[in-house]
């Protein structure tokens, strides 16, 4: 029987040759990811259910990356980091990345890739909805809650319903002004925020396979904004080169069979697409930048697992080089590695860091920061009636802080171009 | 588990995401220390813009200012309830505030799983557009065996979709209770 890549990966994890969409199967988990918001309650449930002296099923397979509330004076947030640290010591977890140490990484989904945890063909569960990001590596990644995560901690297994797949094919050569963010916002506008609920979103086509890994991660990252269980792109030479530069661990590459069954198929020619935003207050509220051009903004925000990778900053720097921002602009690198890369990576003779500083942007320390609002002292948090253009992933009411703020989700090119004018601006005006 | 859930309805619109259910700034509180747990009740559904809370009238908070529990125990909403983040704090906060069940047209996957596997609130689906019919404050009675909800304020009965595969987990009270019952917790 023909299968999609998602079916094949889940079949492998269920020790089966074939699994059908709609079946509930028990999966062996390759990696469990957690962070400072969901780790402490997960560990509490684990101890309550398996006993105070219970040991996790496999310490090598548990990855703990604090990233949400890091640079804040909030004492409850600090307490949660202490709880992670304590659990990591008790369980002798080798993959804990402590805050305040040289091991601290930053936003978990980007750090997983950088640290070589993303391996084609594997199954990752994480206590964060954007765990689907890792699907860019031809693997299955999805978000779960604390109870499910505690179950995995004790048993290494979890049940999942095998999803139907939706196929999104992008033909053509990517124009300079178009980014992965525009592609996924295009899709969300077409299918809605529940258009892929309980399904896999599979991406392919010439344009997708021409993208570097970090751009592919932007596509899979926002599968959850369509309600998707996972987003997935089959591994190719680009994937293998990235993975091999990070780890020597074994992996297995799967492809969808030509006759595999899909719930639906969508086909786009990237040459016919243009820069888009998601208007307040929903990621599916798509409009072309041209159609809302001139809308006044009070802030520009470039950061998060979606839009705070080196590739995102390369794009922003192209626009910001030698110019001045007109509104407060936050540059929030996803990880420590990205932060250091800003200082090394050059564009036309200047480092990205110099370009951003000279343009008048504020560069913050790596964490999730204001993508999800966070404690009151979080850098970049929206206040009052802020109108923010942001490279993040969600713009439901209150997401970035203030309930009265409006957030336009956009590509790093659009966020940078809009920062220069203080109004929503099509990046083609600056390229 | 009781076979009847009865209580007042609290009516919401569509796409109620987890930031509206429990805004991220409150996620710092412990889910196990009682004095902090009650904060999840206090802030349950506090991210819903005021005019959109307690429909059709609106401007009705789920939990009154200064209180930790809601007078409403059944939430009625449109499609895609619980979209957004994976935070289990969301169904947890609804439970702490006193909610027993939700009746929505559909749910986001992670929220639905969390409701069921954590045994917090029962996530019922219905093909009816109940959030356009039921009014906040109406007295509802859910019959778990019959898969129906009766609006006692209007004497009308509506059909709920059967819980199907997950009914046994709901009945057991969560995935751990279910797994013990079915002997699924052996390691390896």
Buried-state track B48-77, b at ≥16 Cβ within 10 A, e below 16: beeeebbbeeeebbbbeeeebbbebbbbbb
The Cβ of residue B187 has, within 10 Å, a number of other Cβ atoms equal to 10
A 298-357: CB under 8 A from B: none
Distance to chain A for B162, nearest Cα, Å = 16
Task: Please give, rounded to a whole number of angstroms, the shortest distance from the CA of A378 to a CA of chain B.
Answer: 10
Closest CA to A311 of A412, A231, A241: A412
What's the distance, CA B159 to chain centroid? 18
- Partners of A108 in the β-ladder: none
Mark whether A157 and A283 lie in a shared domain: no
Q: CA-CA distance, A62 to A59, in Å (whole number)?
A: 5
User: Is A178 inside a domain boundary?
Assistant: yes
CA distance A218 to A307: 7
Which two structure tokens, joined as six digits, stand for A242?
């990235």
Has residue A253 been placed in a domain?
no
- Classify B170 in phi/psi space as left (phi over 0), alpha (psi -120 to 50) or beta: alpha
Tokens of A395: 């713009």
Residue A393's pLDDT band, with cuts at 50, 70 and 90, is very high
Say which CATH number the domain at A31 has. 3.30.499.10
In this prediction, residues A118-136 reach a mean pLDDT of 98
The answer to whether residues A405 and A364 belong to one domain is yes
Distance CA B31, CA B38 (A): 9
Looking at CATH, the fold of the domain delimited by B4-162 is given as Aconitase; domain 4 (3.20.19)
Token pair listed for B60: 């009705």
pTM given for the model: 0.97
Q: How many CB atoms lie within 10 A of CB A431?
A: 13
Question: Which residues neighbour A35 within 8 Å (Cβ) at sequence distance 6 or greater?
Answer: A64, A65, A66, A67, A68, A108, A127, A128
pLDDT digits (tens, 9 = 90+) for A213-237: 999 999 999 999 999 999 999 999 9
pLDDT tens for residues B49-94?
999 999 999 999 999 999 999 999 999 999 999 999 999 999 999 9
For residue B187, is pLDDT > 60? no
The reply to whether A59 touches chain B by the CB within 8 Å rule is no
Block residue for tokens 């992933």: A393
CB B155 within 8 A of CB B87: no
Of the CA atoms within 13 Å of residue A156, those in its CB half-sphere come to: 14
Residues A93 and A154 in one domain: yes
* Contacting residues for B64 by C-beta, under 8 A, at least 6 apart: B71
Q: φ and ψ at A365, to 5 degrees?
A: -75, 155
User: Which residues neighbour A200 within 8 Å (Cβ) at sequence distance 6 or greater?
Assistant: A4, A6, A163, A164, A165, A166, A228, A229, A230, A231, A232
Would you say residue A359 has pLDDT above 50? yes
Same domain, A73 and A219: yes
Q: Quick one: how many helices (H) and strands (E) in chain B?
A: 6, 7
Suggest the residue from B78, B84, B91 to mutate for an interface test with chain A (most A CBs closer than 10 A).
B84
Q: Do the Cβ atoms of B84 and A397 come within 8 Å?
A: no
The verdict on a CB contact (< 8 Å) between B24 and A374 is yes
Residue of A nearest to B118 (CA): A147
Q: Rounded to an integer, what distance in angstroms lies between the CA atom of residue B29 and that of residue B6?
A: 30
Task: Tell whether A226 and A287 lie within a shared domain.
Answer: no
Strand (E) or helix (H) holding A278: strand A276-278
A255 assigned to some structural domain = no
Give contacts of A144 with chain B, Cβ < 8 Å: 86, 110, 113-114
Domain count, chain A: 2
**What's the average model confidence in pLDDT over A338-358?**
98
Nearest to B74 by CA among B104, B31, B47: B104
Mark yes or no for CB contact B187/A143 under 8 Å.
no
- Closest partner residue to A227 (CB to CB) among B31, B83, B118 is B83
Q: What is the DSSP secondary structure assignment for residue B70, as one 8-state letter?
A: -
In-domain check, residue A315: yes
Helices assigned H by DSSP within A192-335:
206-209, 213-221, 237-244, 289-292, 304-307, 310-320
| Residues paired with residue A303 on neighbouring β-strands, in sequence order | A332
B133 touches chain A (CB under 8 A): no
Which domain range does residue A22 map to?
5-248+261-267
Six-digit token string for A46: 């684990």
A239, A267, A295 - which closes a domain: A267
Query: What value of ipTM does the predicted structure carry?
Result: 0.95
- C-alpha torsion A293→A295→A300→A305, nearest 10: -70
Kindly state the tokens that stand for A244.
């091999």
Give the model's pLDDT for residue B186: 60
- The minimum CA-CA distance between A129 and chain B, rounded to whole Å, is 5
Dist. CA B54–CA A252, nearest whole Å: 51
Question: Is there a single domain that holds both residue A230 and residue A319?
Answer: no
Asked if A47 contacts A72 with a C-beta cutoff of 8 angstroms, the reply is no
Same domain for A244 and A299, yes or no, is no
**Per-residue tokens: A161:** 């319903």
Chain B: give the shortest CA distance to residue A10, in Å.
17
Query: pLDDT at position B188, please?
Result: 39
Same domain, A294 and A390: yes
Residue B165's pLDDT is what? 85
A232 min Cα distance to partner chain B (Å)? 17
Across the range A241-259, mean pLDDT stands at 98
Q: What is the mean pLDDT of residues A359-366?
A: 98
**A218 and A115: one domain?**
yes
Q: Determine the Cα–Cα distance for residues B110 and A130; give it in Å rounded to an integer.
A: 11
Answer whether B152's CB lies under 8 Å from B139's CB: yes
B24 to chain A, any CB pair closer than 8 A? The answer is: yes
Q: What is the per-residue pLDDT across B123-138, written as a single tens digit (0 to 9) for each? A: 999 999 999 999 999 9
For A145, the closest of B19, B80, B117 (CB atoms) is B117
Task: Answer yes or no: is A272 within a domain.
Answer: no
Q: Which of A203, A234, A267 is the last residue of a domain?
A: A267
Question: Which of A74, A198, A397 faces B20 most closely, judged by CB atoms?
Answer: A397
Q: pLDDT tens digits, residue range A166-205? A: 999 999 999 999 999 999 999 999 999 999 999 999 999 9
The answer to whether A118 and A138 are in contact (CB under 8 A) is no
CA distance B125 to B139: 18
What is the per-residue DSSP string for A173-219?
Answer: PPPTT--HHHHHHHHHHHH-TTTTTTEEEEEESHHHHTS-HHHHHHH
In a domain, A254, yes or no: no
Cβ contact, residue pair B109, A198, below 8 Å: yes
As a whole number of angstroms, the distance between CA A160 and CA A14 comes to 10
Tokens describing residue B3? 């076979």
Q: Last residue of a domain, which of A267, A297, A330?
A: A267
- Percent of chain A past pLDDT 70, that is, above it, reads 100
């Amino acid at each position: 029987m023909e299968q999609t890549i998602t079916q094949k990966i889940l079949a492998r994890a269920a020790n089966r040759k074939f699994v059908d969409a709609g079946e509930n199967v028990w999966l062996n988990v390759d990696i469990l990811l957690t962070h400072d918001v969901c780790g402490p309650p997960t560990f509490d449930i684990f101890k309550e259910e398996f006993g105070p002296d219970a040991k996790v099923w496999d310490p090598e397979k548990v990855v703990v990356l604090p990233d949400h509330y890091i640079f804040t004076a909030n004492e409850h947030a600090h307490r949660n980091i202490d709880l992670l640290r304590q659990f990591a010591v008790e369980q002798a977890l080798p993959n804990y990345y402590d805050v305040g140490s040289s091991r601290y990484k930053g936003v978990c989904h980007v750090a997983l890739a950088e640290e070589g945890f993303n391996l084609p063909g594997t199954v990752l569960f994480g206590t964060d909805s954007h765990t689907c990001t890792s699907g860019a590596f031809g693997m299955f990644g999805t978000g779960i809650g604390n109870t499910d995560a505690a179950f995995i901690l004790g048993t290494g297994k979890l049940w999942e319903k095998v999803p139907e797949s939706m196929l999104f094919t992008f033909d053509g050569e990517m124009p300079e002004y178009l980014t992965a963010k525009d592609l996924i916002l295009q899709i969300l506008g077409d299918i809605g925020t529940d258009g892929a609920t309980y399904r896999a979103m599979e991406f392919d086509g010439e344009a997708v396979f021409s993208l570097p890994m970090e751009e592919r991660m932007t596509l899979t990252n926002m599968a959850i904004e369509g309600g998707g269980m996972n987003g997935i792109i089959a591994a190719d030479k680009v994937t293998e080169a990235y993975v091999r530069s990070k780890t020597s661990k074994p992996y297995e590459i799967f492809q969808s069979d030509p006759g595999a069954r899909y719930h639906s198929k969508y086909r786009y020619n990237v040459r016919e697409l243009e820069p888009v935003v998601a208007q307040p207050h929903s990621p599916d509220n798509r409009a072309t930048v041209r159609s809302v051009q001139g809308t006044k903004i009070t802030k520009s925000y470039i950061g998060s697992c979606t839009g705070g990778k080196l590739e995102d900053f390369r794009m922003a720097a192209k626009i910001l080089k030698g110019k001045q921002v007109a509104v407060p602009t936050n540059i929030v690198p996803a990880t420590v590695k990205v932060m250091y890369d800003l200082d090394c990576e050059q564009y036309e003779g200047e480092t990205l860091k110099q370009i951003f500083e000279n343009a008048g942007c504020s560069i913050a320390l790596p964490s999730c920061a204001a993508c999800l609002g966070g404690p009151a002292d979080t850098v970049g948090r929206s206040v009052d009636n802020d109108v923010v253009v942001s490279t993040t992933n969600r713009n439901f009411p209150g997401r970035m802080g203030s309930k009265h703020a409006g957030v336009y989700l956009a590509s790093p090119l659009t966020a940078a171009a809009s920062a220069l004018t203080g109004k929503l601006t099509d990046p083609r005006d600056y390229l | 588990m009781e076979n009847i859930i009865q209580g007042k309805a609290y009516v919401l619109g569509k796409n109620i995401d987890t930031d509206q259910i429990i805004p991220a700034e409150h996620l710092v509180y412990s889910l196990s220390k009682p004095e902090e747990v009650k904060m999840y009740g206090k802030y349950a559904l506090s991210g819903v813009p005021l005019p959109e809370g307690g429909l059709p009238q609106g401007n009705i908070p789920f939990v009154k200012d200064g209180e930790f529990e809601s007078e409403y125990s059944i939430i009625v909403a449109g499609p895609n309830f619980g979209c957004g983040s994976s935070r289990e704090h969301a169904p947890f906060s609804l439970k702490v505030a006193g909610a027993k069940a939700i009746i929505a047209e559909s749910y986001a996957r992670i929220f639905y799983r969390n409701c069921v596997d954590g045994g917090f609130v029962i996530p019922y689906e219905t093909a009816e557009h109940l959030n356009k019919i039921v009014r906040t404050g109406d007295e509802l009675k859910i019959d778990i065996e019959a898969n129906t909800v009766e609006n006692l304020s209007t004497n009308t009965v509506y059909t709920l979709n059967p819980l199907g595969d997950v009914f046994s987990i709901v009945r057991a009270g969560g995935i751990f209770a279910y797994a013990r019952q079915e002997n699924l917790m052996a390691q390896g």
